[in-house]
């Protein structure tokens, strides 16, 4: 009887041990047990640090450990990956030897750093799944929107390595860096870079006097027939707002052209709607240099817009079409020179 009772006690102890072990296992992964509850761009991690899960428009992507071979199919996202010192080994590129690119098609604002890090140019302009696969990545980044989006390759690439789709069009580079940094365990790098950049913004506010407000920011078409106007949701609009600029509202009747798809960062203004879109007392011309200012002033179709009446039109640099840390910093430097209090004295 005693022997039988002892066996029962022994079984009970084993059962209790099993229950406590199971409970520990469940508690260590409970926060990742339902990753589909995450919002897009939200990151969740194990208390130990790993694994980490990022929700994308295609569903959750989970990494078990920090990646060491990142490939970016978006030349825009590449700039942010470089800025936060992510281990990126290869990237797509744009057309080489232009006013925004170097001899291999990397953006001029970070091409020197890319070469210093021996980052490979995988392909130029036309997306190439074979080149990505050959690089042997352990994670792949794809832009959800924009001319550098390789979204059509997603089904091919997702079976090669964890593939992240992320939208940079509705984020400042800082917001993009925070999402990527949290996912890749680079939070400290992102914090240091953000602090450095915020100091540059504060310095700008101290030493400048802004031109007449509000401001319309746009990319002016070379033929003078229209432009892409940056909205408050664009990276450009968000940065200008941080610097103290007030963005001029875009009339509703101008917002009808969806020829570039549904985008929140730009409004296409052309034809008779073009002058109507330029309501700001100041125009900031993105993705161009100072020669474009005269072209705008000489456009008879725009002679009555407020910025021409105020003689308040400025070009802010070729590299400002896609804003990452590097081009954003360059933009602030140029704006500081344009609107410096010392210069106005």
Confidence band for 257, pLDDT divided at 50, 70 and 90: low
Q: How many CA atoms lie within 13 A of 273 on its CB side?
A: 15
* Average confidence score pLDDT of the chain: 90
DSSP conformational letter for 36? G
Query: Would you call 218 exposed, middle or buried from its count of C-beta atoms within 10 A (0-12, 13-18, 19+)?
Result: buried
Residue 209 is predicted with a pLDDT of 98
Residue 28 is predicted with a pLDDT of 32
The whole-angstrom separation of Cα 274 and Cα 292 is 17
Tell me which H or E stretch contains 43: strand 43-45
Query: Is residue 21 pLDDT above 90, yes or no?
Result: no
Helix (H, G, I), strand (E, B) or coil at 98: coil
pTM above 0.75, yes or no: yes
Residue 263 is predicted with a pLDDT of 74
User: CB atoms < 10 A from the CB of 257, how many?
Assistant: 13
Beta bridge partners of 121: 91
Same fold, 35-199 and 208-344: yes
User: What kind of architecture, by CATH, is found in domain 35-199?
Assistant: 3-Layer(aba) Sandwich (3.40)
Q: Evaluate whether 208 touches 339 at the Cβ level (below 8 Å).
A: yes
Lowest mean pLDDT among 57-61, 263-267, 308-312: 263-267
The whole-angstrom separation of Cα 83 and Cα 189 is 9
Which structure tokens are listed for 1?
């009887």
Query: Is residue 231 pLDDT above 60, yes or no?
Result: yes
More reliable by pLDDT, 84 or 168: 84
The whole-angstrom separation of Cα 243 and Cα 332 is 8
Lowest mean pLDDT among 26-35, 115-124, 144-153, 332-341: 26-35
DSSP conformational letter for 163? E
Q: Going by C-beta distance under 8 Å and a sequence separation of 6 or more, which residues neighbour residue 302?
A: 274, 275, 278, 296, 308
Sequence ranges of the domains in the chain: 35-199, 208-344
The whole-angstrom separation of Cα 299 and Cα 285 is 14
Range 119-128 average pLDDT? 97
Confidence band for 19, pLDDT divided at 50, 70 and 90: very low
User: What is 208-344's CATH number, 3.40.50.1980, 2.40.50.100, 1.10.3720.10, 3.40.30.10?
Assistant: 3.40.50.1980
Query: Is residue 267 pLDDT above 80, yes or no?
Result: yes
């Amino acid at each position: 009887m005693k022997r039988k009772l002892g066996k029962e006690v022994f079984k009970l102890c084993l059962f209790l041990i099993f229950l406590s072990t199971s409970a520990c296992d469940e508690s260590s992964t409970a926060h990742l047990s339902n990753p589909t509850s995450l919002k897009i761009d939200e990151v969740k991690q194990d208390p130990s640090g790993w694994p980490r899960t990022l929700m994308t428009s295609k569903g959750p992507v989970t990494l078990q450990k920090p990646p060491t071979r990142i490939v970016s199919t978006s030349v825009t996202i590449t700039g942010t990956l470089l800025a936060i010192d992510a281990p990126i080994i290869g990237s797509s590129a744009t057309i080489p030897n232009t006013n925004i690119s170097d001899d291999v098609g990397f953006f001029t604002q970070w091409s020197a750093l890319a070469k210093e890090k021996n980052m490979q140019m995988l392909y130029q302009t036309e997306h190439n799944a074979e080149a990505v696969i050959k690089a042997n990545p352990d994670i792949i980044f794809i832009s959800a929107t924009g001319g550098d989006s390789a979204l059509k390759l997603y089904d091919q690439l997702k079976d090669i390595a964890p593939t992240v789709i992320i939208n940079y069009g509705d984020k400042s580079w800082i917001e993009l860096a925070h999402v990527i940094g949290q996912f890749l365990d680079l939070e400290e790098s992102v914090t240091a870079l953000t602090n450095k950049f915020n100091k540059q913004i504060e310095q700008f506010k101290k030493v400048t006097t802004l031109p007449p407000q509000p401001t319309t920011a746009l990319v002016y078409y070379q033929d003078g027939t229209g432009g892409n106007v940056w909205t408050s949701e664009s990276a450009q609009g968000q940065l200008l707002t941080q610097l103290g600029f007030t963005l001029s509202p875009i009339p509703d009747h101008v917002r009808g052209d969806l020829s570039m798809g549904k985008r929140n960062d730009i409004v296409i203004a052309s034809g008779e709607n073009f002058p109507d879109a330029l309501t700001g007392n100041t125009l900031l011309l993105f993705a161009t240099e100072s020669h474009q200012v005269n072209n705008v002033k000489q456009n008879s179709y725009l002679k009555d817009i407020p910025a021409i009446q105020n003689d308040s039109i400025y070009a802010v640099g070729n590299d400002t079409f896609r804003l990452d840390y590097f081009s954003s910093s360059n933009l602030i430097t140029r704006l500081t020179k344009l609107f410096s209090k010392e210069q106005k004295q």
